[in-house]
Structures are given as C-alpha cells and as structure tokens.
C-alpha cells in the first residue's frame, strides 16, 4: 500500500487531494499563462484513450471529422445575439497582429457554432446535402476566473460535433442518439461511470440552444460534474448564418442544427469519480497500461521472466509495461498505485521458485498468487472483473448520493452531500434562490428516469446539487 504521507487524505481536504493526484501521478502541470495547463505524457495517454473511444462512437453515429480555424471574426459571434451574450465574459480577443491593429478584432474560439455555421451555409444547397454531420477535435479558449487543472482551464481540449438537418425531428433524434450512443455508452462501458441523464432547465442551457441534454456524474466529495452535453440549436444559428436548403418540393427552408461536446474535463471526472486515498484508479478498458510487471530487484533471471510474461500477455491483447527501473521496490509500487494502473504483477525469486507471481488489484488491493503458465489467461478475466466492479461501485455511489426529498428546504440540505431529487414544479418558481446556497439544477428527468423531450412536459423531476 502507498505511504500514508504521499497524498493528502481526500476525507481531510478533497481539493488538495485532487491537486496531489494530478501532480504525483504526473498528469499535468500549470502552464505559463494563468489558467492554461501542460498535459504530461501519462495524462495525455489517458486522454488519447478517451479520444479513441469517443471518436469510434462518433464515426459509428455517422459523423465525419473536419477542422475549422482557431480564429473567428468577431462579427460572426455578433450574428447570434444570445450566443455572444452567453460567451462574452469568457472571450479572448486578438486586436493586434503583424505589428498592426486589426481592422476587425478576432476571437479565439470558445466554441465553433458560428464559424461552422458560416461554412454550412456555403456547403448546403439541397435536401440531398442533408444531414451534414461534422465533428472536430480541437482546443478552445474560455477565460476562466477560477481555473483548476482538467476541470476548468482557460484553454482545454475537446471534440465538438456540429450537424445540420432538414427537420426538427431529425435533428432532435440525432442529438439524442449522440447523447445515448456516444456519450453515455462511453461513460458506462469505458469510463465505468454512472450518471444522471436529463435535460438542462432553461437557465442552464447552452447559449443559443433550444434544448440541452446532459450527463451529470457524482464525484468523491459529493459534488456533481457535467460530463458531456448535446444541444438542439433549433433554427437559431441557421437563421443567423442563412443555412438554407431547397426541399424536394423546391421550397427554400432553414436547416435545424445541433452541437455536442466532451472535453478534457473527463480526465478530472476520472480522477474524482474513481480515485481513492492512494491516487488514481483507472478502469481497465481505458488504461494506457493495464498491467505493470514489477521485478522486486534488478536481476537478469527476473528480467528474463518478465520479458516472457509480458510477451504472453501482449499476445492475449493486454497492454503491459515492465518497470525494472531504479529505486526501491516499495517506491515503485507506490508510484504505480498513484497512477492507478489496474493490475500489478510482482515478480520475486521466492514466488518464482514455486512457479508463481503475485497479482495485485488496484481497486480492492487484493493480492492473488497465480502460476506463470496461467497468468496470460487469468489477467484478462481479472481486468474484466475490475471493469464491471468499478461500474457497479459507481452506480451504487450515485444511488447512495441521490436523496429523494419533497420540499425546497429539504433539497438544500440534501444537496450538501450529493443530489437532491424532487418535483421540478417545487423548484422552478424558486430556482433563483438556489444561487444563494451555491446550488444549481443539474438536470430534469421524467419520473421514470428517462430523458424528456423538453422542459414543458408535466410531472418532471429535477436534480439539485453543488457542482464543479
């Protein structure tokens, strides 16, 4: 187990514990400009695995990757009044370049609805051009007043999908498909994280949207974290940018558009959603390294055995790393525990004399003796067991941290430690009062837990919580 003084205990100071994990797991560092971050190789390897899993699902949903400029003319944002109003406090604006003042200021993209809308208008002429399904992987800039690595930074990485459709029904269905088959499928089956799926109330919608779907997870300190969102933009951007098509009847009509995104905030969610007093716990399907082989000392015989075991596991499809580096065995164990690698295989002369190695699970700390010949078969089973157990634990935590209440006052009390769930009709007329308690309505659901079409449906329930 890790040294007791390596990390701040999360129960003592959760924000400090989070900072400790980010630093000691070598995930990221603060950049030279306030609010920016340098993502270190291990943190970026985790982000790359997230990218690959989400990108695969995006492509299965029919979208294609493209790339649009980082710099956006300020006039583009002004075309959609609600959008520019929503983002104005966060904009970074370039006024000089090449040693001269620019004729028109340039905005560093906070999101790309406006610039992509401009080109959708150029590329779409007929109903045959629809639906147009685009996605880009990019960086964006939103000037944060209270930055925190991965959770809120002035520059962050993400994917942003943008689509245009012939009808409201098609656009709405696609936004829902992305939310269910891309984001929720990734969260459940890769990140092993349960969340409440619902729609945002009007006060929390994306600027310029007519509907925003969200996935709200629960973190180790009982606060909510928005993990991914999918927006129905109606015809707001289509009208602002004149995105029109000729119907099969020859009539000119405005498109219906959507946008949707997930960012490096997911890395923060991974840390706070699965981490424990010893550091990160990375789900096996996500982990860049699923197994680390640790010889107890530098020794030619141990090194030869580790090479053979690594080859056997790689042949079984397992991502393996051998750490025969310098430093004590205990120090190396602690380092890999902090990094959250799912399985640790300890290789020592005593066990080898009996044809064994010791396998330690990161999530439970359980240690199992395994024969050398069985290791390549046992490891995939253990990885799948850990993946399933982490999801079960996340679901149990979400359920335990969600309290059904029946009054506004009870909601405020319950939201101190998690989600308060109660009828939306009780909260809606008093929603503004939540701000005095640093609370917000995280999402709305139907009583059966399904996602409503809009906030006007009767008998909706809402989830109130503190959030990041």
pLDDT tens, the chain, 468 aa long: 444 458 999 999 999 999 999 999 999 999 999 999 999 999 999 999 999 999 999 999 999 999 999 999 999 988 876 766 777 778 999 999 999 999 999 999 999 999 999 999 999 999 999 999 999 999 999 988 889 999 999 999 999 999 999 999 999 999 999 999 999 999 999 999 999 999 999 999 998 899 999 999 999 999 999 999 999 999 999 999 999 999 999 999 999 999 999 999 999 999 999 999 999 999 999 999 999 999 999 889 999 999 999 999 999 999 999 998 778 999 999 999 999 999 999 999 999 999 999 999 999 999 999 999 999 999 999 999 999 999 999 999 999 999 999 999 999 999 999 999 999 999 999 999 999 999 999 999 999 999 999 889 999 999 999 999
CA distance readout (Å), 440 to 144, 203, 271, 408, 414: 19, 9, 23, 12, 13
CATH fourth-level superfamily of 291-398: Anticodon-binding domain (3.40.50.800)
Q: Can you give the three-state secondary structure of 315-351, one letter per residue?
A: HCCCCEEECCCCCCHHHHHHHHHHHCCCEEEEECHHH
CATH fourth-level superfamily of 14-273: Bira Bifunctional Protein; Domain 2 (3.30.930.10)
Are the C-beta atoms of residues 87 and 110 closer than 8 Å to each other? yes
228-270 per-position pLDDT tens digit = 999 999 999 999 999 999 999 999 999 999 999 999 999 999 9
383-412 per-position pLDDT tens digit = 999 999 999 999 999 999 999 999 999 999
DSSP 19: H
Whether omega for the bond prior to residue 131 falls within 30 degrees of 0, making it cis, is yes
* DSSP β-ladder status, 244-246 and 256-263: unpaired
Quote the tokens at residue 288. 């860049």
Are the C-beta atoms of residues 294 and 323 closer than 8 Å to each other? yes
Q: Which of 280, 241, 272 shows the shortest CA–CA distance to 122? A: 241
What CATH number was assigned to the domain covering residues 402-465?
A: 3.30.110
DSSP 153: -
Neighbours of 76 (CB within 10 A): 22
**Extents of the domains making up the chain:** 14-273, 291-398, 402-465
In whole angstroms, give the CA distance from residue 137 to residue 68.
Answer: 10
Quote the tokens at residue 460. 């909706």
């Amino acid at each position: 187990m890790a040294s007791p003084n390596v990390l701040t205990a999360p129960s003592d100071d959760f924000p400090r514990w989070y900072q400790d994990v980010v630093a000691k797991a070598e995930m990221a560092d603060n950049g030279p400009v306030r609010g920016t971050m340098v993502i270190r190789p291990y943190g970026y390897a985790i982000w790359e695995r997230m990218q690959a899993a989400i990108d695969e699902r995006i492509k299965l949903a029919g979208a294609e990757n493209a790339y649009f400029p980082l710099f956006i003319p300020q006039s583009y944002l002004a075309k959609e009044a609600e959008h520019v109003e929503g983002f104005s406090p966060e904009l970074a604006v370039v006024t000089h370049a090449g040693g001269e003042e620019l004729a028109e200021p340039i905005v560093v993209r906070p999101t790309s609805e406006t610039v992509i809308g401009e080109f959708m208008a150029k590329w779409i002429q007929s109903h045959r051009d629809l639906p147009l399904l685009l996605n880009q992987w990019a960086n964006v800039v939103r000037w944060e007043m209270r930055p925190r690595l991965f959770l809120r930074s002035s520059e962050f990485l993400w994917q942003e999908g943008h689509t245009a459709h012939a009808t409201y029904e098609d656009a709405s269905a696609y936004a829902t498909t992305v939310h269910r088959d891309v984001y929720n499928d990734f969260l459940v089956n890769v990140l092993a994280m349960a969340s409440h799926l619902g729609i945002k109330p009007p006060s929390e919608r994306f600027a310029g949207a007519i509907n925003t779907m969200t996935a709200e997870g629960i973190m180790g300190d009982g606060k909510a974290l928005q993990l991914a969102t999918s927006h129905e933009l109606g015809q707001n951007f289509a009208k602002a940018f004149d995105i029109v098509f000729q119907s099969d009847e020859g009539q000119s009509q405005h498109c219906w558009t959507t946008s949707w995104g997930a960012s490096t905030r997911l890395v923060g969610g991974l840390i706070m959603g699965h981490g424990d007093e010893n550091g990160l716990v990375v789900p096996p399907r996500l982990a860049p390294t699923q197994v680390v082989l640790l010889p107890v000392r530098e020794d030619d015989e141990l090194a030869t055995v580790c090479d053979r075991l690594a080859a056997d596991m790689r042949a079984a499809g397992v991502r393996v790393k051998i750490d025969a580096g310098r430093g004590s065995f205990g120090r190396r164990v602690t380092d890999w525990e902090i990094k959250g690698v799912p399985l640790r295989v300890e290789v020592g002369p005593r066990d080898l004399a009996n044809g064994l190695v010791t396998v330690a699970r990161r999530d439970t700390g359980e240690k199992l003796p395994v024969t050398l010949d069985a290791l390549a078969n046992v490891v995939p089973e253990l990885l799948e067991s850990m993946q399933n157990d982490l999801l079960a634990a996340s679901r149990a935590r979400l359920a335990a941290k969600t309290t059904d209440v029946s009054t506004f006052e009870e909601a405020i009390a319950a939201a101190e430690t998690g989600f308060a769930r109660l009828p939306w009709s009780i909260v809606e007329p008093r929603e503004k009062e939540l701000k005095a308690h640093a609370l917000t309505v995280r999402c709305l659901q139907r009583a059966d837990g399904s996602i409503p079409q809009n906030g006007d449906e009767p008998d909706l329930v809402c989830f109130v919580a503190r959030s990041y």
